[in-house]
Chains A and B, each alone.
Chain A
Amino acid sequence: MSQNTPASSGTKPIITMRNVEKHYGKFHALRDVNLEVRRGEVIAIIGPSGSGKSTLIRCINRLEAISSGEIAVDGVKVEEGKNLALVRAEVGMVFQQFNLFPHMTVLRNVAIAPIRVRGIAKAEAEARARQLLERVGLADHMDKHPDQLSGGQQQRVAIARALAMEPAVLLFDEPTSALDPEMVGEVLDVMQSLAKTGVTMVVVTHEMGFARRVADRVVFMEDGQIIEQNTPDVLFDTPSTARAKAFLSSIMHGAAG
């Protein structure tokens, strides 16, 4: 744990995005995005499909390269080069499609990055992986392969895998959207307990209940822009922009119908 406690103070933001623009060819996917995430904060990003939520978080660990602007993680600029692997090791990511390594056991999935990237001894990494798998309720499944697990179990392995690197921040891109409804709860429960233990999280989600319960701040996006951000209560109950109002009422009706 102590090894990635940063020298910098806790008041500095862990993620800073400044004037970030992203183009896919002619398509303008992010427009002047400015966002700061403080250590320990849980941020939910909501907005209609295609509004740039995935693009935003994928720029943070440079799975997508930005067109202009600047992103820094823990004071380190996110750019191509030697620092990129360092940044990525500090930023965990959980994907909608889990993306577990199918040729490895569950235990190996969780232990491999600490061994290969951090250079931690195998025995130590595996002991730590076991603890993490117990924490996400998968103690009995460590020797299985991912395709032997349910979607909800796979996503919990993916969370343990990300945690194994002891990242300073965890990014989630719609972690429950590919799950059968009965498995959504088990994954959200794990995420909620992480949030309680002070893990910094940025979560793209359609689970408004989760966002309201767990997030410290909700960011609403549309057309590649951050339209409005506030505490969940304020944003959900008294949104100040017409666009957020329209989006929230549309999903309420969607959920009812």
Chain B
Amino acid sequence: MDLLTTFFNIDVLLQAAPLLLKGFWLTIQLGAVSLLISLVLGLLLVLVRLYSPAPLRWLAVAYIDVFRAVPLLVLLILVYYALPFVGIRLSSFWAAAAALSAVASAYMAETFRAGIEAVPKGQFEAAQSLGFGWTRMMSDIILPQAMRMVVPPTTGVSIGLIKDTALGSVVAMPDLLKQATQTQAFYANPSPLVGAALLYLILLLPLVRLVSVLEARKKPSR
């Protein structure tokens, strides 16, 4: 038994391919949905955290702290296995999406906060002195500048989120990793796992590269 037929068994890979690609597609869907929710929720959280009156602000702070402290796997298992006891029964996809976006949105909020706080005070004052209300000031003047500054760390959080979708297999979600482990068991050959690893790389390597390029570009100009 040589290395090639064990880890890169073409026959097994070809037979496993449809299932692997199905899992891959589900992983992409889960990643995209969770990313979208966490971006929107993260923005909402940071605005409440920075600009709302005290009790609401504390709630946002508590949310952000708690979800950055709780291990994602624990949260996921809670959502999937504990919530049904109080009548909330989520499919494995939505359980995973909920847990992933709950945690990622907390990290997004902190990332966005760094960006907003890096916008000079003079930008707020210039907008206010022109008669901008708060909403317009944020959407037209402050957030475009803040978000531009945090593209690299936000991409970093997104990469972490997409990686963490693999935890979805724990709650029986037929994502890429789950399909790989199942076909591996079926064919008694680890090639599907190698195939899955390659698919994860295809998805994530460009993003990792992107962060490096963006960060390198940011340095000389500032």
Contacts and interface: CB of A to CB of B under 8 A. Distances in A.
Interface stretch (B11-19, B45-53, B124-132): B124-132
B144 A89 contact: no
Nearest to B123: A99
A174 to B, nearest CB: 13
A247 interface: no
B145 A99 contact: no
B129 A92 contact: yes
A229 B184 CA distance: 89
B134 to A, nearest CB: 9
Interface in A155-196: 161-162, 165
B136 interface: yes
B220 interface: no
A100 B129 CA distance: 12
Contacts of B128: 61, 63, 88
A88 B134 CA distance: 13
Contacts of B140: 112, 116
B32 interface: no
Nearest to A101: B141
Interface string B132-154: 11001000110011001000000
A48 B145 CA distance: 35
Contacts of B133: 85, 117
Secondary structure call for the B interface: helix
B145 A93 contact: no
B131 A165 contact: yes
B123 A61 contact: no
A119 to B, nearest CB: 11
B122 interface: yes
Of the listed residues A91, A97, A99, the one surrounded by the most CB atoms of chain B closer than 10 A to its CB is: A99
Contacts of A91: 129
B99 to A, nearest CB: 35
Contacts of A162: 129-130
Of the listed residues B122, B129, B144, the one surrounded by the most CB atoms of chain A closer than 10 A to its CB is: B129
Contacts of B145: 101-103
Contacts of A89: 130-131
A120 B130 CA distance: 14
22 contacts: A63-B128, A63-B129, A88-B131, A92-B130, A93-B126, A99-B120, A99-B122, A99-B123, A100-B126, A101-B123, A101-B126, A101-B145, A102-B145, A103-B144, A103-B145, A112-B130, A113-B130, A113-B131, A113-B132, A116-B136, A161-B130, A162-B130
Closest 9 CB pairs of A and B: A89-B131, A99-B122, A99-B126, A93-B129, A113-B130, A117-B131, A88-B131, A85-B131, A103-B144
Given A97-B122, A117-B131, 6 more contacts: A88-B129, A88-B130, A88-B131, A99-B126, A100-B126, A113-B130
